[in-house]
Amino acid sequence: MEFKLVIPTSEAAFLKTLIFNKEELIAELKNRIEKYKGITYDESQLKLAKEDRADLNKFKKLLDDERKRIKNKILEPYNKFEADIKEVIAVIDEPLNVIDAQVKGFELQKEEEKRNQIKLIYDAHIKELVTILPIEKIFNEKWLNATYSIANVRAEVAEKIEYFRKGLKIISELALAKDIETAVKDKFIVTCDINVALAEKVRLEAQKEKLAKIETAPAAEKKTAAALNLQTPAPADTATPRIYELRFKVSATAEQLAALKQFLVSNKINYERI
């Protein structure tokens, strides 16, 4: 068997494909390896097996070595071409980097000017909310884009602040218990979402109602509560309210746990981790 490479005679042909006697080689190899199909060597044929293996590996290596040689030959002019192009690009990059730095400097300056404009708009609208609604809570980075008009920014800033102001008013007009109102307002300040805050109101009120039922439960219910680890020791005297000890496990988010802690603290309820 012989490997025969057809050398292209033009650049177009060279870049398109490399041709060798592929079909001839495959046909001859198939004919030669036919004898290996289903072959089984015994111990006495170990030498023959090694010879057959060496024969096949030899031609395999010949083909792979030729592949590597052609690859390196093809890459030689490309590697030189690539190095030359990079050298030219380096000449272009020198002034380009200077120009780019100046353009970016102008852009950063424009961004800073717009940021200051936004701060002035915020200051004009925030008024009494300045201590609980810092500009960072409503700031949108897209406002700094050159294509985003200052008129749109002004409208969005005003809308966000007014939404927050109305949300606080809604909570205040609900006439909630002081501890719940504080927790609901805190939730609103953190999330800036009135729906989330109102959901927290419902949760806290339901929780408070359950605790109140336990506090006023008749004797029979207290016995049931005792079975659930609710201990109701007899008071030292009738003038002192009974102290109940309730052990329970809760599953909640960090914000919900914070609200529960706030409720317990506000109501002066002693608690400890189990």
Closest CA to 203 of 264, 267, 266, 256: 256
User: pTM of the entire structure?
Assistant: 0.51
- Residue 268, sorted as left (phi over 0), alpha (psi -120 to 50) or beta, turns out to be left
Judged against a pLDDT cut of 60, whether residue 15 lies above it is answered with no
pLDDT tens track for 135-174: 999 999 999 999 999 999 999 999 999 999 999 999 999 9
> For residue range 109-135, what is the model confidence (pLDDT) as tens digits?
999 999 999 999 999 999 999 999 999
Lookup: tokens for 9: 């005679």
Q: Residue 28: how many CB atoms within 10 A of its CB?
A: 13
Query: Which helix (DSSP H) or strand (DSSP E) does residue 246 occupy?
Result: strand 245-246
Residue 1 pLDDT greater than 70, yes or no: no
CA–CA separation, 231 and 223 (whole Å): 9
The number of residues making up the chain comes to: 274
Average pLDDT, the chain: 83
Sorted by sequence, the CB contacts under 8 Å of residue 137 that are 6+ apart come out as 192
**Side-chain half-sphere exposure of 63, counting CA atoms within 13 A:** 13
- What is the Cβ-side half-sphere exposure of residue 101, based on CA atoms within 13 angstroms? 6
